[in-house]
Amino acid sequence: MYLIQRPRRLRTTPNLRAMVRETTISVDQLIYPVFVKPGTNRQDPVHSMPGIFQWSVDRLVEHLTEVYAKGVKAFLLFGIPSHKDDVGSEAYDENGIVQRALRQLRTALPESILIADLCFCEYTSHGHCGLLTSEGVVDNDPTVELLARTAVIQARAGASIVAPSDMMDGRVGEIRKGLDRAGFSDISVMSYAAKYASAFYGPFREAAENAPAFGDRRSYQMDVGNRREALREVLLDLDEGADIVIVKPALPYLDVLSDVKHQVLVPIAAYQVSGEYAMIKAAGLNGWIDERRVIEESVLSIRRAGADMIITYFAPELASWLNSDH
Ligand code: PBG
């Protein structure tokens, strides 16, 4: 007979609490998203995300060198191009902004994990994630073809992982095929498999300057009310060859994270998105919450629900705290 006992005695000292803690977080599990733009010596603040900047390549390299020294080794790159057009050409230009950043970072931080966001919404004048038909709806198949081409160009520039965030059908398979054909079978695909049509992306639209000029993304992002559908999206992406799957946003979708964790055997990333960051920062700056404790609690909860790694704008701060704990 199992005697149920309150674990009170095991909570009495910090060392005892640490010993029986079921979930922990380490710097190895953090991925830091960054925004890169043309020019030199630029560090332009994103107003809705205090502490987050759009960087020119030279300054980004300096910044990430410091962050790397704290132990964060994985970076997710978003580009703000010098010009946008209706086919998003700078996304797949060898000299596009992300490709230039990748080359410089690969040289400065040869062992870093460079993850290239793979989507056209930052590069298209209409702000949608793909090519449009003459009726103004996203044209799936030609977009997928272009995504595969872009992945190869990103890999050639130094990406270790490509992260398709567009949500087109069949993209993971085509990207995988494209990479393999070009000799990049060692480059992984981290797919935004369960990506909800969320209002929590609000501040990102300022940071990445990618608000859609008309309509919204609901035809290709998931409905907030759906839970089982997430699993279907994840399984489809795995079937096409995804190596890592992303659930996004993170904190409002812990149920989804937990489901995915129980159903699949690949590593899972959770994306604590711009709106999650902005809310915590705003309350913290007002003195309404204990910012550090809320940040730590939120990432630990995301880990507890099932995330193997967390994409978070808090990565540099978390790394400093994790380092000072020892
Ligand atoms: C699309 C993309 C978005 C985010 C990451 N990739 C925004 C969108 O779908 O509108 C949002 C991330 C965040 O809010 O931090 N390329």
233-271 tens-digit pLDDT: 999 999 999 999 999 999 999 999 999 999 999 999 999
Residue nearest to ligand 1 atom 1, measured at CA:
165
Q: Which atom of ligand 1 is nearest to the CA of 121?
A: 16
- Residue 138 pLDDT: 84
Amino acid symbol at 69: A
Q: Which residues pair with 44 in a beta bridge?
A: 54
CB 90 within 8 A of CB 83: yes
Residue ranges lining ligand 1, Cβ < 6 Å? 117, 119, 121, 165, 201, 204, 217, 273-274
Residue located nearest, by CA, to atom 9 of ligand 1: 201
Using alpha carbons, select from 144, 182, 141, 176 the residue that is nearest to residue 161: 176
Amino acid at 79: G
What pLDDT digit, counting tens, does each position of 43-64 carry? 999 999 999 999 999 999 999 9
Active site residue 261: no
**What's the confidence (pLDDT) of residue 1?**
63
The whole-number pLDDT of residue 240 equals 96
CA-closest residue to ligand 1 atom 14? 201
What integer best gives the mean pLDDT of the chain? 94
Digit-coded pLDDT (tens) for 169-219: 899 999 999 999 999 999 999 999 999 999 999 999 888 887 777 777 777
Ligand 1 pocket test, candidate residues 115, 147, 196, 204, most atoms within 8 A of CB: 204
Do residues 114 and 106 make contact, with C-beta atoms less than 8 angstroms apart?
yes
Per residue in 156-167, pLDDT tens?
999 999 999 877
Q: Are 116 and 154 in contact (CB under 8 A)?
A: yes
Q: Rounded CA gap, 196 and 254, in Å?
A: 13
Which structure tokens are listed for 116?
Answer: 């290239």
Residue 293, pLDDT above cutoff 80: yes
Alpha-carbon distance of 291 to 156, in angstroms, equals 40
Q: Give whole-number Cα distances, 260 to 45, 231, 272, 300, 307, in Å.
A: 35, 6, 16, 17, 9
CATH T-level assignment (fold) for domain 22-324: TIM Barrel (3.20.20)
Mean pLDDT, rounded, for 265-285: 98
Residue 325, pLDDT above cutoff 80: no
Contacts with 149 (C-beta within 8 Å, 6 or more apart), sequence order: 92, 178
Residues 24-53: b if buried by 16+ CB within 10 A, e if exposed: ebebebbbbbbbbbbeeebeeebebbeebb
Alpha-carbon distance of 46 to 36, in angstroms, equals: 12
pLDDT computed for residue 326 by the predictor: 54
Atom 6 (ligand 1) nearest CA: 165
Q: In which region does residue 278 sit, left (phi positive, over 0), alpha (psi from -120 to 50) or beta (all else)?
A: alpha
In the prediction, which pLDDT does 203 show? 96
Residue boundaries of the structural domains of the chain: 22-324
**Cβ within 8 Å of residue 150, ≥6 positions away:** 91, 92, 118
Distance in Å, CA 113 to ligand 1 centroid: 20
